[in-house]
Chains A and B, each alone.
Chain A
Amino acid sequence: MAEQTNLSYLVDKYFYASQMPTMWCPGCGNGVVAMSMCRAIERLRLDMDKVIHVAGIGCAAVAHWYTKFTALQTAHGRALPSATGIKFANPELTVVVTMGDGDAAAIGGNHLIHACRRNIDVTAIVYNNFNYGMTGGQVGPTTPLGSFASTAPYGNAERPFDICSLAEAAGATYVARGAVYYVKDLISLIERGIRHKGFSLIDAVTPCVTVFGRRNKLGTPGEMFKAQRRFTVSVKKAKDMSPEELEGKLIRGVLVEKEVPEFTDEYEKIIAQAQGRGE
């Protein structure tokens, strides 16, 4: 059977029409990320009953309000520990996590680095909009230096995290960055992340038009989508660029992909050993 790409088929299969319209602002990129995740799951032909959607709190972390998977909405920043508990208790499940950048890298930052280190087979998607969308556009851990936010009225004096570098340094075995303008790539990056055995992090760059965009005079939603052509660059192109040329640019594509023993597999060995049937 060929991959189903018919939009109304996908919407009907993966989303609750009863919960529409979404709470996302017109022009927001979050819907693109949520649909990319579902398309990736469609490509992988996963049994929907066995996919668990875990979320934190924020604009990003309402994607599960609309998707038809079994879901857990945790507290702000706490998606990964519960995702860890779900996957560890039942490794047969596919666990996908939706978080905002504040969710993932500020309040949930400690959980993030330890999930990377532990290498549990969970796929985390960070909807990175460079600020705290839900609470009105406060400065966050990914807000660029000098950008404006409701709590950075004179410009941000702090340097941001590059979530992908953070994940890589913490030991994540699959790290990728996508952007909603490059939606086909984004679907593939998520698909590859779910397929990857180990902890996968996908940083999905998405415009927050209403608060970040307006405050930083980034133009219309269309312009904000298109701007991703300017401030992101593919891994392939980046190879031939100098550090000066790469200054201020985010690199798109698969940044890390390596095979390392996965946590729940390792624990199975411990069970075997504890039960006296180890090697």
Chain B
Amino acid sequence: MMSKARITLMKGNEACAEGAIAAGVRFFAGYPITPSNEIATIMAQRLPQLGGKFIQMEDEIGSLGAAIGAALTGVKAMDATSGPGFSLKMENLGLAAMVEVPLVLINVQRVGPSIGMATSPAQGDVMQARYGSHGDYGIIVVSPSSVQEMFDLTIKAVDFSEKYRVPVILLADQVVGHMRERLVMPPHEEIETAYRTEPSVTPDAYLPYRGDERGVSPMAKFGSPYRWYANSSSHGEESFQATSDYAISEKLIQRLTNKIEKNKKEITEVREEFLDDAEIVIVAYGCTARSARGAVLKAREEGIKAGFFRPIVLWPVPNEEIGQVADKAQAIIVPEMNMGQYVHPVREAACGKAEVVSLSKVGGLAISSNEILEKIREVVKSG
């Protein structure tokens, strides 16, 4: 018998929790913060029903630390936060990147800096999500635009984290987290997510930091006969300290970065509409992509050849795809709820082939399609 998909009306944050459960997440550690709270509330309720574990730690540093510990024992782990909490995550995010722990961190963005506005949306953490912890490392950041995507992309984030042994950030925002929309949930048994590769060699031969052709190493569960050392210091393939061996340290940093950058083709996901003849293309993500698409439709009605491009995976940057857009278009507009963050990688990818214009709005109000339409008209005029 085929089980049927469940169709419901749901909040984005609720869909995120459902997606995590569907993807096999069975450990959640968190610390309360608006506008991400619903995720923890649902996980506290649901996880024990599934034999999973929920813990509210003493702060955001502690909760990501607990998720790291749990993930090392072989369970799929998640954590959710926002604003000031995201800043506190940076220390342990670097640890997760360094020791290559698969886990998912949700950030429902709110207005900053500092406490900012707890219940108003922003997209101010785009750069922090990529570069927030000190040093160089690779990371994957996905950006949902709808309740459906809060579900689908949480699953995808879990999948990526396990495939690449990397922390993955779902960079949502207060709009997407709190709005209610129709959600189609396929039966759990139809949802497939990766699970980290476990070592197949003998315990003596196990090298926890020897990358395969993708740069990813098999990962043994803590407590298995594969004794290994998850080392936050620079380390070699066997995991001992690099101490002052700079070649080992260099190789590690390059692999940590390249296991994401070099696998970009498999990771990248974009949505493209009306690009064939587009002269002006809007590159938008998250909640802003919703108004951006509306603006493109309105511009088309006015006879303006507008196109729509949405990076669903924000980091790594889909520069090839953006480059192709820039080949054909005259101008690219990047509307975002910050002082201009993602516009920078877009400009770099466009490489001077198209003019890249920032449309920035901060303070907590979403960008309307009319505001974007206005910008499109302005760019057309200045031609």
Contacts and interface: CB of A to CB of B under 8 A. Distances in A.
Given A81-B61, A93-B73, A88 B55 contact: yes
Interface string A83-102: 11111111011000000000
A245 interface: no
Nearest to A83: B69
Interface in A66-91: 68-75, 78, 80-90
B81 interface: no
Contacts of B224: 49
A65 B241 contact: yes
Contacts of A52: 222-223
Contacts of A69: 227
A123 B231 CA distance: 20
A268 to B, nearest CB: 9
B71 to A, nearest CB: 8
Contacts of B241: 65
Contact of B222 (A74, A80, A93): A93
A78 B223 contact: no
B3 interface: no
Nearest to A271: B48
A75 B133 CA distance: 12
A167 B246 CA distance: 41
Contacts of B99: 72
Contacts of A54: 69
Contact of B49 (A49, A84, A89, A275): A275
A89 B223 CA distance: 11
Contacts of A43: none
Contact-residue bracket for chain A:
35 or more
A85 B233 contact: no
B63 interface: yes
Nearest to A82: B69
B75 A89 contact: yes
Contact of B66 (A50, A75, A85, A92): A85
A45 B59 CA distance: 36
Interface in B52-101: 53, 55, 57-59, 61-75, 77, 91-92, 94-95, 99
B51 interface: yes
Contacts of A71: 229-231
B53 A78 contact: no
A274 interface: yes
B276 to A, nearest CB: 50
Contact of B67 (A72, A75, A80, A85): A85
Contacts of B55: 84-85, 88
Best-surrounded residue of B59, B61, B67, B226 (most CB of chain A within 10 A):
B61
B274 interface: no
Given A81-B69, A83-B69, A84-B66, 18 more contacts: A49-B223, A49-B225, A68-B227, A69-B227, A70-B223, A70-B226, A71-B229, A73-B232, A74-B92, A84-B65, A85-B77, A86-B72, A86-B73, A89-B53, A89-B69, A93-B222, A267-B53, A275-B51
14 contacts: A70-B227, A70-B228, A70-B229, A84-B62, A84-B66, A85-B68, A85-B69, A85-B72, A86-B69, A86-B70, A111-B61, A114-B58, A267-B53, A274-B49
* 4 interchain residue pairs of minimum CB distance: A85-B69, A81-B65, A85-B66, A274-B48
